[in-house]
Amino acid sequence: MEQQQLTLRIQIILYTLAAFAICILMIDQYRQGLYSLVLSNAIGVPAFLFSAIYLYINRDHSPSLWVHHLLIILLASLALYQLPEYSELMMHFLYALPLLSFFCLPIINATLINIIAATISALMLWNELGWQDGLRWATNYCLFLGSAWCYAYLTQIKQESLRRLALTDQVSGAYNKRHFYHTLDREISRSQNSNDPISLIALTIDDYHQMMDIHGRRSINGFLATFTERARNIIRAGDEVFRLEEDLFILLLPHCPNDGAIVLMERIKRNLQQQPWDPIPELNLSTSAATGASGETSDELKKRLLQSLTKQQRTTLQIGAFSEQ
């Protein structure tokens, strides 16, 4: 969310500066007597300002891409419209299209728009200036487009990597505690608005620290990654796995009533305990389930879940001690 807000602020500043730059360019064009070019570029000023104002007004909502698509297509259309009459000037103007488009649009959409603009401009220059100039322009534009695409792709990979590092536990691959509270607050709000139930399942690995002492941290880390992967294969689509502590995992189940959560909890526990685990000879889990009540906060729901888990563990220990006697 913070990354989106930062990108949004940069886009607003960029659009405002672009409108100001076009105004300065129009003054210079007016002095040179290029009146038709001034009138055409005048369309870009309100377009940039409208985009900046629209993004600022909707800064607290989910970002909408239609305004970016409209702006980029408008700028490309203006440049292509003036290309036959002002070839040299518009060719330099088109070089800004990849930078703006890859910054404002998804990489696939921006690539498609740039390929269409490059094809149309190359054919127009081929017809106006000859095939040599058209081919030269197409080659230069493709090189510039390829550089911009590589930069945008690497930036996208970096952002996805940083987002993954911020949201997931690096050992198990499950979502981390910080993301758990954010997701739980969001799902509780949605549940209260739609009256859909939301449930949690807690899974605790029994004797975790003893396993760590016996098998070592490296082996247990590999076990945790496999544990998370297998748990995800058992739960429903849309459910999520979180690791809150070393031995504590919580499953978040939207649209799941209490009875369904209990059935799913028993199935997950039985399935995981029956599977072979390397290097652990036998896996034992303590489980509990809780369903959100009306008006209950995320902290209250989590506290009730962990209290139920603690009670379940005590009951298991008492039964085990009684059996030994």
Render pLDDT for 150-163 as a digit per residue (tens, 0 to 9): 887 887 787 777 77
Residue carrying structure tokens 């029994």: 206
Question: Is residue 143 packed enough to be buried (19+ CB in 10 Å), middle (13-18) or exposed (0-12)?
Answer: exposed
Q: How far is CA 302 from the centre of its chain?
A: 26
pLDDT band at 6 (very low <50, low <70, confident <90, very high): low
pLDDT band at 110 (very low <50, low <70, confident <90, very high): confident
* Tens digit of each residue's pLDDT (9 = 90 or more) over 176-213: 988 898 889 888 888 888 888 999 999 999 889 888 88
* Tens digit of each residue's pLDDT (9 = 90 or more) over 117-141: 888 888 888 887 777 877 887 788 8
Question: Where do the DSSP E strands lie in 28-98?
Answer: none
Q: What is the DSSP letter of 257?
A: -
How far apart, in whole angstroms, are the C-alpha atoms of residue 84 and residue 237? 54
DSSP conformation letters of 112-176: HHHHHHHHHHHHHHHHHH-HHHHHHHHHHHHHHHHHHHHHHHHHHHHHHHHHHHHHB-TTT-SB-
Q: What is the DSSP letter of 195?
A: T
Indicate whether 3 pLDDT > 60.
no
Sign of CA dihedral 66, 68, 72, 75: positive
How far apart, in whole angstroms, are the C-alpha atoms of residue 298 and residue 231? 23
Helix (H) or strand (E) segment spanning residue 45: helix 44-57
* Tens digit of each residue's pLDDT (9 = 90 or more) over 58-78: 665 555 567 778 777 877 887
How far apart, in whole angstroms, are the C-alpha atoms of residue 122 and residue 125? 5
Average pLDDT on 299-309 reads 89
Tell me how long the chain is: 325
Cβ atoms of residues 197 and 264 within 8 Å: no
How far apart, in whole angstroms, are the C-alpha atoms of residue 127 and residue 202? 69
Phi, psi of 67 (to 5 degrees): -65, -35
pLDDT band at 279 (very low <50, low <70, confident <90, very high): confident
Phi, psi of 237 (to 5 degrees): -65, 130
Average pLDDT on 92-115 reads 80
pLDDT band at 248 (very low <50, low <70, confident <90, very high): very high
List the domain boundaries for the chain. Answer: 2-167, 177-324
Domain spanning 177-324 has what CATH number?
A: 3.30.70.270
Q: What is the DSSP letter of 218?
A: H
How far apart, in whole angstroms, are the C-alpha atoms of residue 117 and residue 111? 10
